Amino acid sequence: MSDPTLELKAPPALKPGTMRIIPLGGIGEVGRNMTVFELDGKLIIVDCGVLFPEEHQPGVDLILPDITSIRDRLDDVVAVVLTHGHEDHIGAVPYLLRLRKDIPLVGSQLTLALIEAKLAEHRIKPYTLAVKEGQVEQLGPFSCEFVAVNHSIPDALAVFMRTSAGSVLHTGDFKMDQLPLDGRITDLRAFARLGEEGVDLFMVDSTNADVPGFMSSEREIGPTLDRVIGQARKRVIVASFSSHIHRVQQVLDAAQAHGRKVAFVGRSMVRNMSIASQLGYLHIPEGILVDLKRVDDYPQERIVLMSTGSQGEPMAALSRMANGDHRVQVGRGDTVILASSLIPGNENAVYRVINGLMKLGADVVHKGNAKVHVSGHAAAGELLYCYNIVRPRQVMPVHGEVRHLIANGKLAQATGLAEEDVLLTDDGSVIDMTDGVARVVGGIECGFIYVDGTTVGEITDDDLKDRRILGDEGFISIVTVVNRHNGTIVSGPEIHARGFAEDEKVFGEIIPKISEALHEAVQSGPGSAHTTYQLQQIVRRVVGTWVNRRYKRRPMIIPVVLEA
């Protein structure tokens, strides 16, 4: 297995008849899934999702795939194939279509409905092609056959690409629930048929590759939800992904069984459940829904709130409830159910919400203390089954952190694949396939594109570093006025600090040292060679050294030297 962290050289020019594969997101991380395939001058994109920021990325709203390498090639894109409707697979589509609005979107009925609603908020009306399992579409030089797979959202699809350079089966996100709520299982018969035809490269979901055995069935969650809702004394608040239609269906069924009304909380929850209901994926019992504004008209023991915010997102409904700044005021006797798994990196945010809710007196039920969620991704046992059914020539683990990718690669080897036929890659890796054989041939620069308010790509890692310093270490500014003609300090040094020390008297011992250092510099003679910038750097060094030695801190230091 190749090392995914290995620094790669620039790729060679693409040869005629060779297909190039470049993952631009989702490799080495859980989110922002996007892979570009190029053949005969045409591009096809599989998924275009977002990654949600972690605590060390303050102020960031979303993180997008880095499309710099194809930005001037968008006219060559024949389609964006969307495997399913989760944000980490469709969330970046609006930002891509801002650059070219008529890129065709291909996906299942529900997936396209979800992305169309999202695009309407961006005032973009897309070109779409709805496909079903078993359907084959010729998209430029790519013949794409779609295969039903089971996931934590209905209507998910894998895609099998037949090309002159070889064949690729991309699973998207999937698991092998044998008793799914909607009866739509992963089509292993189709996987076996494609395996018989010949799968040159199998691109496989790795998210749960390090989890032994098999995932439990979604049906096992229903009794737990029913019991918790039935035993609750007051209101029940259930937090889940706004696209987890199966989980919402289970909550609706349990609420009806215990005579409770249900209100949807959160704009995306209201929007997605409306779409799912209209298309027949969600069955809402007659008279069970009430508007959030009317929940106070009912006794608390007759209400269930279905909310967003299961990952501790700061602006989501549940986080605001925990902070006490939502119209829904959580109180003693309320029951909160977090019906989701923890996305890596979100643990601290989720536990902060749990602590906040418990401090308000709520009983919090989560995956750690009750069976209220099962993952939507195949565990190791399921992946082994797939490898043995498909018998691919080569494997490229996708969708997961490095530990997941490596675990998935080892599973593939355990079923008989040679080490060199397991391609461990990273975002920006370049894989070329010729005559059905894929090899990593280089890499391209592939960073994070940050969405911050209305700006896209303007915030850099250096900006985030500055924000972290400001948040963790504080800010010190030093203003000094000097007279360069006679070499004297006219005013200052005047020090202001934020987030460093409550009492600015602590700077009394450093002010004389700043004055002395500046005095020595400007006294080297009228018209000294020291520039204003050099004087500022002198101040920065003096203050930085003192702060580090005295307080073991590294605040942001902004020296300002003005000339009188």
The binding site for substrate comprises 373-377
Asked if residues 186 and 150 have their Cβ atoms less than 8 Å apart, the reply is yes
- CB atoms near residue 288 (< 10 Å): 16
Q: Which residue intervals of 169-244 are DSSP H helices? A: 188-197, 221-231
Q: Indicate the pairing of strand 77-81 with strand 455-456.
A: unpaired
- Pairing between β-strand 157-163 and β-strand 166-170 as defined by DSSP bridges: antiparallel
**Spatial separation of the C-alpha atoms in residues 553 and 337, rounded to whole Å:** 41
CA dihedral 137, 140, 141, 146 (to 10 degrees): -20
C-alpha count within 13 angstroms, C-beta hemisphere, residue 326? 23
* Side-chain-facing half-sphere of 486: CA atoms under 13 Å: 5
Tell whether omega for the bond before 493 is within 30 degrees of 0, i.e. cis.
Answer: yes
Stated length of the chain? 564
455-456 vs 449-452, strand pairing mode: antiparallel
Question: Which amino acid belongs to residue 187?
Answer: D
Q: What residue type is assigned to position 115 of the chain?
A: I
Token pair listed for 283 = 């069955």
Task: State how far the alpha carbon of 479 is from the alpha carbons of 486, 489, 514, 515, 557, in Å.
Answer: 19, 11, 11, 11, 11
Please give the structure tokens belonging to residue 525: 């003679």
- Residue 84: C-alpha distances to residues 24, 52, 155, 303, 389 (Å): 18, 18, 7, 31, 23
- Counting beta carbons within 10 angstroms of the beta carbon of residue 324, is it exposed (0 to 12), middle (13 to 18) or buried (19 or more)? exposed
Q: Which two tokens stand for residue 1?
A: 């297995």
Tokens for 209, please give them. 């590759």
Q: Are 384 and 376 in contact (CB under 8 A)?
A: no
- 437 has which bridge partners? 434
Query: What residue numbers does the annotated binding site cover?
Result: 373-377
| 62-95 residues labelled b (16+ CB within 10 A) or e (exposed) | bbbbbbeebeeebeebbbbbbbbbbbbbbbbbbb
Q: CA distances (Å), 112 to each of 56, 83, 89, 126, in order?
A: 33, 10, 12, 10
Report the Cα–Cα distance between both ends of the chain, in Å, rounded. Answer: 65
